[in-house]
């Protein structure tokens, strides 16, 4: 059985890169809900509805775990999606990112850059405070930065100026750790690194999500028995457009993308 992974677009491909490296023999199904991109400016109710239909689709094709490779969905829908998926575990980004940031920070001042909806829900602040009430958390949302990545332009001057504008306040507060709280943002790593300088730790929750999946697979003896793997990439939008982007952002070449109507 494959592992199901989904996002609104290309962001989850960064999570896929980490998962494919850590689980070389697993089958994966990746769904990009490109027709409904962006998620970051929608309401909580819309996000719950959109993600529920993807989870139901993944259940219908048969998956052994679901990775919600989207912070926006993770910030509002995990308990609900888990109740829909019942016995299939659903892994989200927020808990993983919060834990990783707390393992990383020395001064307990943590910044989060995300979509506007993730920032508005304070999902990261709440989760970090649940784990350590002494931490200070500074959250900022930017849909423009997400859109630049989704369009395949992650390293231009506009991205740099936007990142500088969005991050300047939290840098003044002396955060020593910055969570990339949107799965599109690891593709802006070099831009963000240039803006924050070398003394701020940049945390990508994908690594911790993968570690959690590893723990779960080991405990439940769920690793694939075969020594080959299939990776299917599906989109609800234009498949040629998604294929072009996947070839920019994925570490492997994929021959084709299929379109699904859900
Ligand atoms: N990549 C998604 C996230 O991690 C959402 C981007 C969007 O559709 O706005 O939040």
Q: Give 17-71 pLDDT, tens digit per residue.
A: 999 999 999 999 999 999 999 999 999 999 999 999 999 999 999 999 999 999 9
What's the CATH number of domain 3-92+207-259, 3.30.830.10, 3.40.50.2000, 3.40.50.1860, 3.30.565.10? 3.40.50.1860
Q: Rounded to the nearest 5°, which phi and psi values hold at 5?
A: -130, 135
Average pLDDT over residues 105-128: 98
Please work out whether the CB of residue 14 comes within 6 Å of at least one atom of ligand 1: no
pLDDT for residue 155 = 82
Q: How big is the CA angle at 236 (ends 213 and 151), to the nearest 5 degrees?
A: 85
Q: Tell me if the pTM is above 0.95.
A: yes
Positions marked catalytic: 70, 182
Please work out whether the CB of residue 38 comes within 6 Å of at least one atom of ligand 1: yes
Q: Is the pLDDT of residue 227 over 90?
A: no
pLDDT for residue 118 = 98
pLDDT for residue 143 = 98
How many Å lie between the centroid of ligand 1 and the Cα of residue 71?
Answer: 6
Please work out whether the CB of residue 3 comes within 6 Å of at least one atom of ligand 1: no
**Residues carrying CATH 3.40.50.1860, the chain:** 3-92+207-259, 94-205
Please work out whether the CB of residue 37 comes within 6 Å of at least one atom of ligand 1: yes
Q: Is the pLDDT of residue 120 over 90?
A: yes
Q: Is the pLDDT of residue 154 over 80?
A: no
Q: How confident is the model at residue 84 (pLDDT cuts 50, 70, 90)?
A: very high
How many Å lie between the centroid of ligand 1 and the Cα of residue 147?
Answer: 9
Instruction: Look up residue 38 and give its two tokens.
Output: 């962006």
How many Å lie between the centroid of ligand 1 and the Cα of residue 102?
Answer: 23
Please work out whether the CB of residue 146 comes within 6 Å of at least one atom of ligand 1: yes
Between CA 12 and CA 7 the distance in angstroms is 5
Domain 94-205 sits in CATH at: 3.40.50.1860
Pocket probe for ligand 1: among 183, 188, 245, the residue whose CB has the most ligand atoms within 8 Å is 183
Average pLDDT over residues 214-224: 95
How large is the C-alpha radius of gyration of the chain?
17
Average pLDDT of every residue of the chain: 96
- Residue owning the nearest CA to atom 9 of ligand 1: 40
pLDDT for residue 40 = 98
E strands of 72-127, at which residues? Answer: 90-91, 109-114
Q: Is the pLDDT of residue 229 over 90?
A: no
């Amino acid at each position: 059985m494959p592992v199901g992974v989904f996002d609104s677009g290309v962001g989850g491909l960064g999570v896929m890169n980490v998962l494919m490296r850590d689980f070389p023999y697993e089958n994966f199904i990746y769904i990009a809900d490109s027709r409904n991109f962006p998620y970051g400016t929608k309401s909580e109710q819309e996000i719950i509805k959109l993600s529920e239909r993807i989870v139901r689709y993944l259940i219908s094709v048969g998956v052994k775990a679901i990775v919600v490779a989207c912070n926006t969905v993770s910030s509002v829908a995990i308990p609900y999606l888990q109740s829909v998926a019942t016995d299939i575990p659903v892994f989200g980004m927020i808990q993983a990112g919060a834990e990783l940031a707390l393992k990383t920070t020395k001064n307990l001042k943590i910044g989060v850059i995300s979509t506007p909806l993730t920032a508005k829900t304070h999902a990261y602040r709440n989760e970090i405070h649940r784990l350590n009430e002494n931490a200070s958390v500074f959250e900022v949302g930017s849909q423009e930065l997400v859109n630049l990545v989704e369009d395949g332009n992650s390293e231009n001057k506009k991205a740099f100026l936007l990142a500088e504008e969005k991050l300047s306040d939290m840098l003044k507060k002396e955060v020593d750790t910055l969570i990339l709280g949107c799965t599109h943002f690891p593709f802006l790593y070099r831009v963000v690194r240039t803006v924050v300088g070398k003394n701020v730790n940049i945390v990508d929750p994908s690594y911790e999500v993968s570690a959690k999946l590893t723990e779960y697979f080991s405990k439940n003896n769920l690793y694939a028995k075969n020594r080959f793997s299939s990776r299917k990439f599906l989109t609800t939008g234009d498949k040629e457009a998604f294929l072009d982007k996947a070839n920019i952002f994925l570490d492997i070449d994929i021959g084709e993308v299929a379109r699904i109507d859900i």
